[in-house]
Amino acid sequence: MPVLTTLVALSTAIGLASAIPTPWNGWGWPGHGGGGNGGGSSGINVQLGPRPFYLVDNMDAGPLKDKLESCSNGPFKTSPFSISHRGAPLMFPEHSKQGYKAAARMGAGTIECDVSFTSDRELVCRHSNCDLHYTTNILAIPELAAKCTKPFTPADPANGTAADAQCCTSDITLAEFKSLCALMEGDSSAFTAVNVTEYNGRLGPTPTWRTDMYATCAEPMGHKEYIQLVASMGLNFTAEAKTPVIPMPFQGTYTQADFAQQIIDEYREAGIPANRVWLQSFLQDDIFYWIDADPAFAAQAIYLDERADLSATGYEDAVASLPALAARGVKIMGPSTWQLVTADNATQTIVPSSYAKAAKEAGLELITWSLERSGPLKDGGGYYYEGVNNLINNDGDEYTLIDVLAREVGVTKMFSDWAGTVTYYANCFGL
Ligand SMILES: *[C@@H]1O[C@H](CO)[C@@H](O)[C@H](O)[C@H]1NC(C)=O
Ligand SMILES: *[C@@H]1O[C@H](CO)[C@@H](O)[C@H](O)[C@H]1NC(C)=O
Ligand SMILES: *[C@@H]1O[C@H](CO)[C@@H](O)[C@H](O)[C@H]1NC(C)=O
Ligand SMILES: *[C@@H]1O[C@H](CO)[C@@H](O)[C@H](O)[C@H]1NC(C)=O
């Protein structure tokens, strides 16, 4: 272990690092000091690995491919445009310390913690209140498995019953949560074939296009220690107040507003200024709560918009609602990638959607999610490419989508499961 990493761990452990507002430039490597490139520089020795180069090679011939090829010698550096989505879950267990560090190494300017809470009301980084049974080894630890909301029941091939369990962060304490191993997210579509021994205490296998190479026992993270880690690397924060799966108020008294407030409180206690934190929620009420309770932190809160996925008229309703949301004080909308683009079949190109145009007219900033969650793109790319699936048939097409989102739609940041892909693009275009 490099000496400086040990020091960070040590200072965190003994509490010296309870407020680290300034970056520790270099983060274990010789650094050059922050701020040198107009705000994005962290001093981290950024390494993008082979994937962006593979994607560029795979692109169809044209000016975008030429431009991206012209950037292949770098320099590569941390970019504010590049947001790490759940760490680096294309290859590392999501929301693990190892995944966050991998994303930082790949130039993410902002690292995401999706926030849930434990039985002792501590905040932890998990994508859902109740995903421990398919993102950790909890089912392999009998005393913790016994605390799950819904204990494990095995699959029954005789009558086709799927294996089942539901294990929530709120079932256990922070200390118990920290004793788990973070694993790759189990593929829920394959729960039926489940054999807990085989999957190391987790429901569902790892999709073949991800890997278990870094999933021996990754470290799950509390929100406070995530703040310390990201601060120590000189990077920025984005925290999502997860939509509750369990009934609120929790334990009779802990309300959704208490939870939304606790997230802000932990940044203030750590001495992190509001302009380095992007709060997020899918719940309009969380966004409005922040606007009313804490304008400084609300100023760059992201209203994650999935209304288009929830009803037949959801997309049109969302587009129509944008001016009123802006008037209510919302500054940034965060729709999924597919909502921002559409197919121009006459020219066979991807173009900005009516949502993208309406958001611009309403003066709203756009941040979108998520790249690198779709696996190989030869069959059209699935959900994140909905509406343009007919124009997607190779992995290099990912950069075509990224380019339309960045330069035509005008998104200011992008979430990606593999930050290097977006960092490469951002570095090439000076974002
Ligand atoms: C972090 O946020 C600050 C304030 O918004 C910004 O100036 C800086 O460029 C950001 N840094 C990174 C690494 O994205
Ligand atoms: C399948 O069989 C198991 C064990 O006999 C039983 O508990 C379960 O209810 C059955 N499920 C269905 C859908 O019939
Ligand atoms: C589960 O997997 C283990 C290891 O591969 C195997 O020994 C065991 O028989 C399997 N159990 C079931 C119920 O399939
Ligand atoms: C473009 O063509 C595809 C495939 O035929 C179709 O599914 C899609 O709806 C068309 N898109 C538009 C905006 O017309």
pLDDT tens sequence across 213-244: 999 999 999 999 999 999 999 999 999 999 99
Q: Specify the pLDDT at position 393.
A: 98
| Ligand found nearest the CA of 156 | 2
Is pLDDT of 310 > 60? yes
Pocket of ligand 1 contains residue 412 by CB under 6 Å: no
What is the CA(353)–ligand 4 centre distance, in A? 13
Is pLDDT of 396 > 90? yes
Is pLDDT of 18 > 80? no
57 touches 396 (CB < 8 A): yes
In the chain, where the domains are located: 3-126+220-428, 129-218
**pTM reported for the whole predicted model:** 0.90
Per-residue confidence at 27, pLDDT binned at 50, 70, 90?
Answer: very low
Q: Specify the pLDDT at position 158.
A: 83
Q: pLDDT per residue over 156-193, tens digit each?
A: 878 878 788 999 999 999 999 999 999 999 987 776 66
Mean pLDDT value across the chain: 90
Of 417, 395, 398, whose CA–CA distance to 91 is shortest? Answer: 417
| Strand 302-305 to 150-153 pairing | unpaired
What is the CA(256)–ligand 1 centre distance, in A? 29
What is the CA(157)–ligand 2 centre distance, in A? 10
Question: What is the architecture, at CATH level 2, of domain 3-126+220-428?
Answer: Alpha-Beta Barrel (3.20)
For 202-244, give the DSSP string: SSSPPPTTS-STT-SSBPB-BHHHHHHHHHHTT-EEEEEEPPP
144 compared with 23, residue with greater pLDDT: 144
Q: pLDDT per residue over 28-68, tens digit each?
A: 333 333 333 334 467 899 999 999 999 999 999 999 999 99
Pocket of ligand 2 contains residue 161 by CB under 6 Å: yes
Which of 18-22, 23-27, 181-185 is predicted most confidently?
A: 181-185
Per-residue confidence at 154, pLDDT binned at 50, 70, 90?
Answer: confident
Instruction: Among 345, 348, 353, say which to mutate for ligand 4: greatest number of ligand atoms within 8 Å of CB.
Output: 345
Amino acid identity, position 51: R
Residue 364: how many CA atoms within 13 Å on its side-chain side? 30
